[in-house]
Amino acid sequence: MKQKWASIYKCTQLLWSILLVLVIWNLPQYALADINPQEINAIIRTRDIALQALNTRDFAKIQPYLHPNFTITTVDNQIFHKVSEFERYWNQQFSSSIKDIKMQLKGETLRNFLTPEIDVASGEAIASFSFKDGKAADMALRWTAVLQKLQDKWTIQSLHFSSNLLDNPVLNAAQQLGRILAVAAGVGGFLLGAVTMLVLRRRTKQRTERI
């Protein structure tokens, strides 16, 4: 009798374990099934407004579409929680050799709805740099965003960008400028040394003639 009840208990545990695994495994699919096309369009609208804010530097447009506790992580590993701080950082990018930055999405956006109100999206993008010397370059980016629906509006809870540090147009431009400055400094040093030697020789010659 005890063995029978033990066998039933084990079978019951196994059944509940299988059901739990199935529920967890299919949770994103159930959540996705509850998302209608209107919600997807609303998410895309939030994404487009964010891109427009970056490309036009008008961050007042994106303010209503940011989660109260949002986080933005940039390619240089800086983290921002306030629009004013990120806006200051973004505008500082144009104080040196960069004239303009335009960003556009590339390829398909992957989505995983954890719940009907939480969307984890990821994809690729291209940042096009225009430099003040007339040159231009593109940088490939990867991005991940978490969006949460609050008060009938899809807001950005977190946004993260990453890039290949070995293929960075800004870094390459800085390195090229460094090489130019190094060559200029070398040429300047050589000319200064040559002029100094010429002056010393003349002075030595004049002293010799006086003697």
Between β-strands 66-73 and 153-163, what pairing exists: parallel, antiparallel or unpaired? parallel
Determine the pLDDT at residue 167: 62
Helices and strands, number each (H, E), in the chain: 4, 6
The model's pLDDT over 75-128, given as tens digits with 9 standing for 90+, comes to 888 999 999 999 999 999 888 888 999 999 999 999 999 999 999 999 999 999
Determine the pLDDT at residue 36: 86
pLDDT tops 90 at residue 50: yes
- Is residue 121 within 8 Å of 111, Cβ to Cβ? yes
Determine the pLDDT at residue 205: 55
Question: What is d(CA 164, CA 168) in angstroms, rounded to the nearest whole number?
Answer: 7
Which residue type occupies 62?
A: I
Q: Output the CA–CA distances (angstroms, integers) from residue 182 to 71, 127, 158, 191, 195, in the order listed.
A: 40, 29, 41, 14, 20
Determine the pLDDT at residue 186: 42
For residue 204, what pLDDT band results from cuts at 50, 70 and 90? low
The model's pLDDT over 126-151, given as tens digits with 9 standing for 90+, comes to 999 898 888 888 889 999 999 999 98
